Amino acid sequence: MKRKLLKNTSALALLLLVTISNVRADNGYKLWLEYSKLTNQKEVVFYQQKLRYLIFPATSATLKAAQAELQTGLNDMLSLKPEKSVEIINSQTLVIGTPQSLKSLAITVPDSIGDEGYLIKTTLVNKRSCILITAKTDIGVMYGVFNFLKLLQTRQSVNDLNISDHPRITYRILDHWDNLNRSVERGYAGSSIWNWHKLPGFIDQRYIDYARANASVGINGSVINNVNADALILSPAYLLKIQALANVFRLYGIKIYVSVKFSSPVELGGLKTADPLDPAVKKWWADKVNEIYSYIPDFGGFLVKANSEGQPGPQTYGRSHVDGANMLADALAPHQGIVMWRAFVYDNKVPDDRSKQAFNEFKPFDGKFRNNVIIQVKNGPIDFQPREPFHPLFGAMPNTPLMMEFQLTQEYLGFSTHLVYEAPLFTECLQSDTYTQGKGSTVSRVITGGFNKKLITGMAGVANIGTDVNWCGHPFAQANWYAFGRFAWNPDLSPATIADDWLRMTFTNDNGFVSPVKKIMLQSRENTVNYMTPLGLHHIMGVSTHYGPGPWVDNAGRPDWNATYYHKADSAGIGFDRTSSGSDALAQYMPQVKGHWENLATCPDEYLLWFHHVKWTYKMRSGNSLWNELVHHYYSGAESVKQMQLTWDKMSGKVDPERFAEVNQLMGIQLSEALRWRDACVLYFQTFSKMPIESIYPKPDHPLSYYKDMKFYYVPGIGGNNYMTN
């Protein structure tokens, strides 16, 4: 009895807390489409006086979906219901539609906004002032509706509106590394959201909410399966399942793409070869593509990982990447499909420097691919490290479309236990100057087709989505999905603007929350670089799981999977010499970039050990020796997580208790992981430097052997029976 009473009392306390703090329980499922009810009466009155809306003529499924979204948003935020009458058009009325759907109103839309752009403006329609949301196409209208709702979600004025926006990139695509058994390669948020077994019969509400979330930020494509593809995805049984997904996504302007296995003609078709120049192979692909389009008339195309990490590809048959990509492109061209051919290649011959391989293999093929092929290039030349310089292929293939590939899932960023807002990482790469067409040739200009208007453009993000209630595992990991969409729409946006919008839409408009938490977000990636891989270190994490530190790894399957291959620590110093006295990877960059990074005096600290092998006693800009500087970075990185925790603690009561507690606990894990990274790396590198850790710092809690011996079981994201490793 007493226990029951106690239980009830604590439940009541929680309820009270929720009521008093004016924030309700929230599991994060709604992402940034929370549409929380406005509670500030002044704001409510402000918007209610401005807005009335009508049921607009929704002549297509997409317009109907836009209508439904608007109703949900206005009802949830302002309890605003649509007007019954359809005649009123006054300054409070929202008028929504395309020139065709609003035929009687004689609306015009300038061609310059393109097929996916939109206008939101206060204007005269039928001689009456109103708010018009319009576009050339239905999907443009939907983007306009989402952006209008964003104005309310972020409490902006709706007076005198004059907004015109359009995407700078055509293909804005999420890449799911989801396997058909529902495991997700490098996925840290549960299983795959595609419930293959129940498809096509059962349409999970998640598919619809996934599509809404994507459309709200302008994502218009989804590669639904792992780049390490299973040939089965092209079998009729799976095409039926994909068709069911495509039917949902279509309403929200999202096309489906699949990753294909290059040897599918053999594995699925029973042919003897998958040689791309073999007529029977060409025919098999052409027939298969026709079959796919008979199920999904607006199918997007293929993503291909070929001749990399054991995957088959044209080189398996003595042919080139061009032969392989063009053969698939020819099959897709009659249907306007595209091939996204990945440049992340490294084969069994271990190169002198893995960072050089993609450039060496692809650069000679500039201008040789069909115009519906786009080469998908990771942001950096190794593999989604916490920090990498931009990939040297950007700008180096002026006659070939290059598509950016970012990784949203935090394979090398602490999985979904670490708060790492990736927008600063994206921006760092996008705003890097390649100098390939003179000063100002930023990666952003290259991938938006700024130097060659004829090329198709794209950006891909490796998804961080799974069946976890909050989709991404960490409440703040949702911000990386959101930021990706925003950058794919406009790569020149600022990380701060995106964080601001996301926080307001996802949590609250309380500036006492938004401003300190935005600061945390903007600093978080640098903090993580500091406690994991400061000063240009890279690839020193646990072998195969990629979780936690593993700078000692020297016995992986091949040399370039070992941490020691990358940091090259010895008694003299540390770092990978990529200057002309080393691997000369720097020669792949333009002279201005190469010159800057090659010279120790100008090379930024951030890239120092990426490009140079430097003495432990080398005097850094700060005046510290390299050793002391390295130690300083590791300690300040871990310290910054403590600071982040202190800030978050103060947010109690400003957000719902559920998400507050979840973030709080995850920060506890992040701190212990940051301390582990710090202590393991400092102790390990000390075995080479033989220099002391300055006495201002606390001593590591354990000896090096303790960290080396740590074991982790069933680490997520690697699948199979690969259950344990450090």
Site for ligand BDP contains 340 (CB under 6 A): no
Of the candidates 300, 303, 262, 328, the one whose C-alpha atom is nearest the C-alpha of residue 176 is 303
Residues 277 and 398: their CA atoms lie apart, in Å, by 27
Site for ligand BDP contains 230 (CB under 6 A): no
- Asked if 43 is an active-site residue, the reply is no
Nearer to ligand BDP, 137 or 464 (CB): 464
Site for ligand BDP contains 433 (CB under 6 A): no
Which residues, 6 or more positions from 470, have their beta carbon under 8 angstroms from its beta carbon?
27, 28, 29, 189, 478, 662
Check 115, 309, 352, 492 and give the catalytic one: 309
In whole angstroms, the minimum distance from the beta carbon of 122 to ligand BDP comes to 47
Sole residue written with tokens 């370039």: 560
In whole angstroms, the minimum distance from the beta carbon of 177 to ligand BDP comes to 7
475 burial type by CB count under 10 A (0-12 exposed, 13-18 middle, 19+ buried): buried
Residues 51 and 89: their CA atoms lie apart, in Å, by 11
In whole angstroms, the minimum distance from the beta carbon of 423 to ligand BDP comes to 20
- Asked if 309 is an active-site residue, the reply is yes
Half-sphere exposure of 551 (CA within 13 A, CB side): 28
Please give the single-letter amino acid code of residue 331: A
In whole angstroms, the minimum distance from the beta carbon of 245 to ligand BDP comes to 22
Residues 208-227 within binding reach of ligand BDP (CB under 6 A): 227
Which H helix or E strand runs over 347? none
Q: Provide the pairing of β-strand 162-165 with 171-175.
A: unpaired
- Asked if 116 is an active-site residue, the reply is no
What mask of x and - would describe binding to ligand BDP in positions 286 to 315, judged by CB under 6 A? -------------------x---x------
Residues 398-427 within binding reach of ligand BDP (CB under 6 A): 411
- Of these, 72, 228, 437, 509, which contacts ligand BDP (CB under 6 A)? 228
Residues 54 and 93: their CA atoms lie apart, in Å, by 7
Of the candidates 204, 316, 325, 194, the one whose C-alpha atom is nearest the C-alpha of residue 266 is 316
- Of these, 26, 34, 178, 383, which contacts ligand BDP (CB under 6 A)? 383
Which residues, 6 or more positions from 433, have their beta carbon under 8 angstroms from its beta carbon?
439, 440, 441, 442, 592, 593
Nearer to ligand BDP, 67 or 307 (CB): 307
In whole angstroms, the minimum distance from the beta carbon of 372 to ligand BDP comes to 22
Check 69, 411, 673, 679 and give the catalytic one: 411
Q: At what angle do helices 495-506 and 511-532 cross, to 10 degrees?
A: 120
In whole angstroms, the minimum distance from the beta carbon of 622 to ligand BDP comes to 33
Check 383, 629, 656, 673 and give the catalytic one: 383
In whole angstroms, the minimum distance from the beta carbon of 538 to ligand BDP comes to 12
Residues 624 and 535: their CA atoms lie apart, in Å, by 13
Site for ligand BDP contains 344 (CB under 6 A): yes
Nearer to ligand BDP, 309 or 701 (CB): 309
Site for ligand BDP contains 185 (CB under 6 A): yes
Half-sphere exposure of 184 (CA within 13 A, CB side): 27
What mask of x and - would describe binding to ligand BDP in positions 384 to 403, judged by CB under 6 A? x-------------------
Nearer to ligand BDP, 65 or 303 (CB): 303
Residues taking part in catalysis: 309, 383, 411
Q: Which residues bind ligand BDP (CB under 6 A)?
A: 185-186, 227-228, 305, 309, 344, 383-384, 411
